Amino acid sequence: MKVSYIGLGVMGAGMALNLSKGENEGQYEFLACDANEKALEQFQEKGLKITTNIEDTLDSDYIFLCLPNLDIVKEAVLGDNGLLKHLKPGQTIVDFSTISYLGAVDIAERCKEQGVEFLDCPISGQQSKSLDGTLSIMCGGNEELFIKIKPLLDRMGTQVLYMGENGAGQLTKMINNNALNICVASFSELLPVGVKLGLDPEKLGEVLMTATGSSFASKTLIPKILEGNFEHGFSLGRAYKDMESMYEVLVKHEIPLPTLNGTMQSYQLALQSGHRDDYKHGMVKFYEDMLGVKVRKEGFK
């Protein structure tokens, strides 16, 4: 059996390294693929097979993808010289990329027309979790196939869930991401209000990280706000794309979600104010500027 992994970026590299351990155990042949030769160096150092040519993956039983966005996934799978032009019935594509629900359904349908299996398996977790194999993986597609490849997925995640038919993995990830976006918008709006009206930002932040209004988002991102750390990780622009993807589904099914719509407006204000490349909690800067305050600990700008 041959397993290939395409896309060795921030998350993909750690996942691929964990998946490659199966070769060391004699379970399958492993190939790492990325257009960036530098991304392949650590795999080469471990004596693993590497390539910059996607065509070298075409004889694989399972091809795993972890790519930046829907356009790149479509090009890799459906493009003029994409995987689907060459794969045979029975081969499988497993996509860890975060793309839209409708996009995943479309790709899966195109694959099925040629007898190729497609699973959408977006991931959740930070880079450290990709390295130690403790990601959450949400899967959509053929359930029998999911069961068959779950031992491979278990090498990369500790919470590996079958969510339903094609698109279900992406829908789950979209809902999770948008819940997070709503949390970020809430404290990004409210923290500057408290500071404007005289509250100490560090004490207010402590309450929002520990009391009933706390969340994973507040515990993770409020400390960064207090220290003025808005470095790009998962940017406001990319977070807004998640909401756009969700909005496409809502329009298609005529479902009103006022809270999500309001959150989108908060993100739009931040985007129009020049904060697109900040991490998503950078939207607090818009409200700081509007109210003339800074939500910072003493000594931080």
d(CA 280, CA 275): 9
Using the 8-state DSSP alphabet, how is residue 57 labeled? G
Final residue in a domain of this structure, among 165, 193, 223: 165
CATH number at residue 81: 3.40.50.720
Q: Which domain holds residue 65?
A: 2-165
Amino acid letter for position 82: G
State the average pLDDT over residues 237-255: 91
Provide the angle, in degrees to the nearest 10, between the axes of the packed helices 236-253 and 168-196: 120
45, burial (CB in 10 Å: exposed 0-12, middle 13-18, buried 19+): exposed
CATH number at residue 201: 1.10.1040.10
Query: Does residue 299 belong to any structural domain of this protein?
Result: no
Alpha helices (H) along the chain: 12-24, 41-45, 70-78, 101-112, 127-132, 143-153, 168-196, 201-210, 216-226, 236-253, 258-272, 284-291
d(CA 23, CA 1): 10
Phi, psi at residue 245, to the nearest 5°?
-65, -40
User: Do 152 and 15 lie in a common domain?
Assistant: yes
pLDDT for 178-221, tens place per residue? 999 999 999 999 999 999 999 999 999 999 999 999 999 999 99
Distances (CA, A) of 214 to 75, 195, 218, 300: 41, 18, 6, 23
Query: Does residue 34 belong to any structural domain of this protein?
Result: yes
Query: Does residue 297 belong to any structural domain of this protein?
Result: no
User: Do 280 and 193 lie in a common domain?
Assistant: yes
Q: Which of 123, 135, 6, 128 is nearest to 58 (CA)?
A: 6
pLDDT for 114-137, tens place per residue? 999 999 999 998 889 999 999 999
Adjacent-strand bridge partners of 51: 33
Determine the pLDDT at residue 24: 80
User: Do 222 and 78 lie in a common domain?
Assistant: no
Amino acid letter for position 49: K
User: Do 96 and 219 lie in a common domain?
Assistant: no
Residue pair 268/254 in contact (Cβ under 8 Å)? The answer is no
Adjacent-strand bridge partners of 159: 136
Residue pair 133/18 in contact (Cβ under 8 Å)? The answer is yes
Query: Does residue 278 belong to any structural domain of this protein?
Result: yes
Determine the pLDDT at residue 233: 64
Determine the pLDDT at residue 26: 87
User: Do 228 and 112 lie in a common domain?
Assistant: no
Take residue 97 and report the two structure tokens written for it. 């990329």
User: Do 79 and 202 lie in a common domain?
Assistant: no
User: Do 256 and 143 lie in a common domain?
Assistant: no
Q: How many domains does the chain have?
A: 2
State the average pLDDT over residues 38-62: 95
User: Do 187 and 153 lie in a common domain?
Assistant: no
Predicted TM-score (pTM) of this structure: 0.90
State the average pLDDT over residues 9-37: 93
